[in-house]
Amino acid sequence: MASVFYEIRVAGTVPFGVLLDFERFSADVAPAETVLHGPFPSQAALVALLPRLEEFGADVIAIRRLRGNDMITRSG
């Protein structure tokens, strides 16, 4: 089964050291949030990421499943 790509919006800036733990993701930093986007092999993998973000004190404000056109825009 192919991975499904998601966009995860987190309030504030996620420290660079934390981003290293999510090596398959790319990140864009906006003035008030960090946007992570990358693949998950299953929804269970997505759900497992959420407590990990909480460990770092991240406040997840939105999760969105990306469709084909969104992934093309994100990758370049």
Distances (CA, A) of 21 to 1, 15, 53, 56, 73: 24, 11, 10, 11, 24
Domain regions of the chain by residue span: 4-70
For domain 4-70, give the fold: Alpha-Beta Plaits (3.30.70)
What tens-digit pLDDT sequence spans the chain (76 residues)? 677 888 888 887 777 777 777 777 777 776 778 888 888 888 888 888 888 888 878 888 889 998 765 554 444 4
pLDDT of the residue at 57: 81
Residues in the chain: 76
What pTM was estimated for this model as a whole? 0.53
